[in-house]
Amino acid sequence: MEGNYNFYDRAIRLGVFTVTAGIIANFVPAVYLAGVVGVMPQWSDLLQILAVALSAFGASWVVQPLSFFPILGVGGSYIGWLCGNVADIRVPAATMAQKVTGSEQGTPRGDVMATIGIAGSVIVSVLIITLFTFIGSAVISVLPPLVKKALGFILPAVVGAVYAELSSKQLKIGLGTIALALVITFFAPQVGLPQWLLSICIIGCGILVARIKFSASK
């Protein structure tokens, strides 16, 4: 237990420092443009952009950390949210790292494996981004239209694969959640349900299905 506490304690301290440094670094270019170059947008424009960002991503800022924490663990959550691409890259990396090592999610071993997997995905992502920065645009420009169109399905394919992997451990919960998600998605436009609330409703249904399943098994 002492070793687990030391890992979590150090991960939290380092994570708070790196995330705080990342937040500050995000404002450095804006401060430089405003203070040195003298370029500063109107506050009305900034508030309008903030309103658009909140309406489009505000719900995910709350929903995703709560949804992905059991998979990512403490250390993986800090790395994932600092580096981004959590749903399409970090979560699959953490899941695969836990699977190949036989580690259970939510355990100290699972958290360590998730952290290692996410750290490896960050290194690979940086290498790939650097590579495609130089040659990617040239390669994509010569690809057939069919291949270019197929690249747009990478994210749903990855999310589907992760969902299938997690659902295989609790098949009834997985099937019940996806069934309710399809029903809610079908009726959402008819009742005027906003997109951000749709995600919350689906997650809530998943929690409800899990609760009913485990209550019935007692």
pLDDT in tens, 62-92: 778 888 888 888 888 899 888 888 877 888 8
pLDDT in tens, 94-132: 988 888 888 888 788 888 899 999 999 899 888 887 887
**Between residues 86 and 203, which one has the greater pLDDT?**
86
Contacts by 38-44 with C-beta closer than 8 Å and gap 24+? Answer: none
Burial pattern 183-199, b for ≥16 Cβ within 10 A else e, equals ebeeebeeeeeeebebb
Q: Does the pTM exceed 0.75?
A: no
In one-letter notation, the amino acid at residue 191 is: V
Confidence tier at 40 by pLDDT (50, 70, 90) = confident
**Predicted confidence (pLDDT) at residue 195 exceeds the cutoff of 80:** no
By the 10 Å C-beta count (0-12 exposed, 13-18 middle, 19+ buried), 215 is classed as: exposed
pLDDT confidence of residue 88: 77
Q: For residue 177, what is the enclosing H or E element?
A: helix 171-191
Direct distance between the N- and C-terminal alpha carbons of the chain, in angstroms, rounded to an integer: 30
Rounded (10°) CA dihedral 93, 159, 165, 67: 80
**Between residues 3 and 163, which one has the greater pLDDT?**
163
Q: What are the start-end ranges of the H helices in the chain?
A: 2-32, 43-83, 91-100, 108-141, 145-151, 154-167, 171-191, 195-216
Fill in the DSSP letter of residue 84: -
**Predicted confidence (pLDDT) at residue 3 exceeds the cutoff of 60:** no
pLDDT confidence of residue 1: 46
Q: Which of 15, 139, 142 is nearest to 76 (CA)?
A: 15
Cα 177 to Cα 201: distance, rounded to the nearest angstrom: 11
Fill in the DSSP letter of residue 143: S
pLDDT confidence of residue 20: 92
